[in-house]
Amino acid sequence: MEKLTLAVEGGVPVRKEGFPAWPIFGQLEEQLILDVIRSGKWGGTGTVHSPEYTAKLPEMERRFADLHDAAHAISVVNGTVAITVALQAAGVKPGDEVIVPPYTFIATAAAALAFGAIPVFVDIEEDTLLLDPDQVASAITSRTKAIIPVHLAGAPANMTRINEVAAVHKLRVIEDAAQAVGASWEGRRVGAIGDFGTFSLQSSKNLNSGEGGIILTNNPELAEIAWSLCNVGRSRSGAWYQHDRIGQNYRMTELQAAIALAQMSRLEEQMLLRESNTKLLTELLGQMDGITVVKSDPRVTRHANHLYMFKLDTAVTELIDKTDFIRKVNAEGIPISFGYVPLNRNEAIVNATRALTGEDRSYNCPVSERLSDKEVVWLSQNVLLADEQAMHDIAAAIRKVIESY
């Protein structure tokens, strides 16, 4: 086949049209925000000016919990704080160790370091890019108190095995479900499969309110502690100036709850569209030489498709440099990106860990490092909200660049 001239070399790009802008919003968001403004109740506490107004935060929390088969939801300022609070409510103390995968957003580990707990990195599975439960046991010490599986890209981690390991060693499990709104593992929604689940409503996430976070749990005592930690140590049943523990003010506002409620009503339709586009893209890329699509465990009964990840085959990375590949595909009009640098190699985390432990810890995470350095590339969720032609364009651009090497 005759090689087409790459866009980086002056050729015609495969795609000139953009991808859907994010977020998607309309009259519903405007109406609910207006309700909040007119009510005079703008915060998580405070008075209501109009008696007919029903507060949005409790309604949003209720709906979010229902959406994830969870009994309790606590809204907070963001997904990072959600993890910190869940860890603290779960009884993790400064100096305790928390097992996390290295291939994740920095918040997963920083949320522990924020109060002096120590992240311990356990590598990911080659096929799914999720925490490898078989390696967790060997990282457990007398200081280990919790495991944070990350439902990366919207794919639930192996919660069955992780809960088993946690039960044997009496550890708490906090699901970092920031990317996994609406996902399920063996028919059960994520978020309360472990002791806690934490979500992010930050701008890039599939359900977004600008900023925001949610903590879910089925355990009423843990829910009370988490609520208290987010409400300056108050108790739900206590007096206003009664503070039973040291907490912060991590409350979300009514304005954010209004946006989240409106966005929730768009969620299912968007999830279905991402699902059908993911299926098509996987069919197109699955048959392409040099490319491997990241696998989903058959027990993932719903994938939230926050990111679409695929890999350059190890065999072709001798020939194809990941950064060069990304540059060339970008020039064809397709916004693929490099993705995370493993956290075990992040200087800030290494330094913070050294300061807390007095040790130079090194972690064996060859899968995360190789995949990050050479193989994995991402597409973001808004790309999956485009039409079918866009999926064909993505595949055509990737094929064109692969064939140029």
Ligand X SMILES: *Cc1c(COP(=O)(O)O)cnc(C)c1O
In the three-class reduction of DSSP (H, G, I as helix; E, B as strand; rest coil), residue 253 is classed as coil
DSSP H/E element including 309: strand 307-312
Site string for ligand X, 145-184 (x = CB under 6 A): -----x-------------------------x-xx-----
Among 14, 39, 65, 78, indicate the residue that binds ligand X (CB under 6 A).
Answer: 78
Site size toward ligand X, by CB under 6 A: 14
Phi-psi category of 70—alpha, beta or left, where left has phi over 0 and alpha has psi -120 to 50?
Answer: beta
Closest by CA to 375, choosing from 59, 126, 107, 201, is: 126
Nearest to 136 by CA among 103, 184, 171: 171
Cβ–Cβ < 8 Å for 205, 320: no
- Nearest distance from C-beta of residue 176 to ligand X, angstroms: 5
Beta strands in 95-225 (DSSP E): 97-100, 118-121, 144-147, 172-176, 184-185, 188-189, 196-200, 213-217
Site for ligand X in 213-272 (CB under 6 A): 213
Q: Minimum Å distance from CB 306 to ligand X?
A: 8
Which x/- pattern over 80-109 shows residues binding ligand X (rule: CB under 6 A)?
x-----------------------xx-xx-
Q: Which stretch binds ligand X (CB under 6 A): 45-53, 75-83, 159-167, 262-270?
A: 75-83
Report d(CA 107, CA 81) in Å as an integer. 9
Q: Which stretch binds ligand X (CB under 6 A): 18-26, 73-81, 117-125, 131-139?
A: 73-81
Quote the least distance from Cβ 309 to ligand X, whole Å. Answer: 13
Give the nearer residue to ligand X in terms of CB position, either 107 or 390.
107
Distances 94 to 110, 145, 329 between C-alpha atoms, Å: 13, 11, 45
Q: Which is nearer to ligand X, 195 or 393 (CB)?
A: 195
Q: How far is the CB of 79 from ligand X (least distance, A)?
A: 3
Total Cβ atoms within 10 A of residue 371: 25
The helix or strand, by DSSP H or E, that contains position 273, with its residue range, turns out to be helix 254-286
Judged by CB under 6 A, the residue of 79, 149, 182, 333 near ligand X is 79
Q: Smallest distance, Å, CB 205 to ligand X?
A: 6
The torsion angles phi and psi of 385, rounded to 5 degrees, stand at: -100, 5
Nearer to ligand X, 179 or 372 (CB): 179
Identify residues 104-123 at the interface with ligand X (CB under 6 A). 104-105, 107-108
**Among 128, 135, 202, 381, interactor with ligand X by CB under 6 A:** 202
Sign of CA dihedral 315, 316, 317, 319: positive
Residues that bind ligand X (CB under 6 A): 78-80, 104-105, 107-108, 150, 176, 178-179, 200, 202, 213
